[in-house]
């Protein structure tokens, strides 16, 4: 009886481990990229149960244990960079010059959530230079507009389809544009931000639709949007930041491919997962809200902020412009196979890197 139960568990674990290795884009396969931590924990529990209930001297039982252990090691390999045992990809800032710093807050508000006062309180407490909200409609825009005296620069696209987006900034936004790169009802925002030091930073705010039974049967739309932006910022000498709710986990094939193609860095590496979704379910959380940046920056501060009623936690990241120190940083490197895969994913949708707005100061 025990052997049959553990055999069934191991079969499920193996399937959840092997299916994401496929390049198939069906939602039910790609969503298996998300719960690697949960699967790793399941592997640990299964191994403990096998050790207690099965006879380790039996060859079939040993095979189950070995397969479970291999799956555990595999999932751990994916998530260990997002723990403190791993080396930092982004150096900690050694200068505290305020004129060179940019503090950005990202908040998916959950459209039906009506606790605008809670979000505004967080904004006033942490005083980001720039904040972006996702899923904001006209109701949310009316509430957030009370901050316009403090945040005189803005980009607004209120929508009722869970993909509205707003950007408010204390810093000047130059040559800004709202685009619908892949889908006619899903916006992205692009602008050049001018730091008090005079340095110009190209920022892209994204919120592509996820693969899911209620959104898209496949991940092609999300993948194409992320990768055309990645290609548009690759090898730029201009400082770059890409942020938003990417509806993908930090360790997935697509997000890692985005990092390889773009050359951007992830400040969470070596610091933590900073799981932002789901705010109401501690046992089912993963990092969906991201900020990636070019080598021009080091990290001053990173923090997941308290919940304000959304299904996402807000994220706060402060970067310092330090090109000299930052040039020693190195992220993931793309090879020929990565570039071919990126081209394949982009070709699945009617979009090209030339479609991405390239802000100029």
Residue-wise pLDDT tens digits, 170-225: 999 999 999 999 999 999 999 999 999 999 999 999 999 999 998 999 999 999 99
What was the pLDDT predicted at 56? 83
| CATH code of the domain covering residue 332 | 3.60.10.10
**Residue range of the domain that includes 13:** 2-82
Q: Are strands 200-206 and 240-245 parallel, antiparallel or unpaired?
A: parallel
Q: What is the mean pLDDT of residues 326-333?
A: 94
Q: Same structural domain for residues 275 and 333?
A: yes
With CA atoms as reference, report the closest residue to 82 among 332, 266, 301, 283. 266
In this prediction, residue 55 has a pLDDT band, given cuts at 50, 70 and 90, of confident
Please determine, for residue 23, whether its predicted confidence score (pLDDT) is greater than 90.
Answer: no
Cα–Cα distances (Å) from 57 to 8, 47, 137, in that order, read 20, 15, 62
Q: Looking at the domain assignment, is residue 360 inside a domain?
A: no
Domain final residue, candidates 55, 82, 109: 82
C-alpha span between 133 and 258 (Å, rounded): 22
Q: Same structural domain for residues 192 and 135?
A: yes
Instruction: Encode pLDDT of 283-296 as tens digits.
Output: 999 999 999 999 99
Domain final residue, candidates 48, 82, 116: 82
Domain final residue, candidates 82, 114, 129: 82
Q: Whole-structure pTM over 0.85, yes or no?
A: yes
Q: Looking at the domain assignment, is residue 154 inside a domain?
A: yes
Q: Same structural domain for residues 74 and 160?
A: no
Q: Are 105 and 125 within 8 A, CB to CB?
A: no
Q: Looking at the domain assignment, is residue 23 inside a domain?
A: yes
Number of domains in the chain: 2
Q: What is the mean pLDDT of residues 52-76?
A: 93
């Amino acid at each position: 009886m025990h052997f049959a139960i553990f055999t069934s568990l191991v079969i499920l674990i193996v399937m959840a481990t092997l299916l994401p290795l496929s390049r198939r884009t069906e939602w039910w396969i790609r969503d298996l990229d998300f719960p690697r931590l949960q699967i790793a924990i399941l592997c640990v529990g299964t191994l403990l149960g096998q050790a207690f209930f099965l006879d380790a001297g039996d060859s079939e039982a040993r095979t189950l244990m070995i397969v479970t252990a291999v799956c555990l090691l595999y999932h751990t390999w994916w998530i260990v960079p997002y723990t403190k045992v791993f080396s930092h990809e982004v150096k900690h800032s050694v200068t505290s010059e305020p004129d060179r710093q940019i503090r950005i807050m990202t908040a998916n508000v959950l459209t039906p959530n009506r606790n605008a006062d809670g979000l505004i309180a967080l904004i006033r407490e942490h005083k980001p230079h720039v904040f972006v909200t996702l899923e904001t409609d006209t109701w949310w825009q009316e509430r957030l507009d009370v901050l316009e005296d403090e945040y005189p620069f803005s980009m607004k696209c209120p929508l009722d389809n869970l993909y509205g987006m707003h950007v408010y900034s204390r810093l000047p936004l130059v040559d800004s544009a709202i685009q619908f790169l892949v889908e006619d009802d899903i916006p992205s925002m692009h602008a050049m931000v001018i730091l008090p030091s005079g340095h110009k930073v190209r920022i892209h705010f994204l919120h592509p639709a996820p693969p899911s039974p209620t959104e898209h049967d496949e991940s092609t739309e999300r993948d194409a949007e992320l990768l055309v932006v990645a290609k548009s910022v690759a090898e730029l000498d201009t400082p770059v930041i890409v942020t938003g709710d990417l509806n993908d986990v930090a360790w997935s094939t697509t997000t890692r491919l985005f990092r390889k193609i773009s050359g951007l860095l992830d400040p969470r590496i070596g610091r933590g997962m900073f799981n932002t979704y789901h705010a109401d379910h501690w046992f089912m959380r993963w990092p969906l809200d991201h900020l990636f940046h070019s080598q021009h920056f080091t990290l001053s501060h990173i923090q997941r902020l308290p919940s304000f009623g959304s299904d996402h936690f807000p994220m706060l990241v402060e970067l310092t412009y330090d090109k000299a120190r930052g040039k020693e940083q190195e992220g993931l490197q793309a090879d020929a196979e990565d570039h071919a895969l990126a081209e394949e994913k982009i070709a699945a949708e009617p979009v090209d890197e030339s479609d991405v707005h390239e802000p100029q100061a």
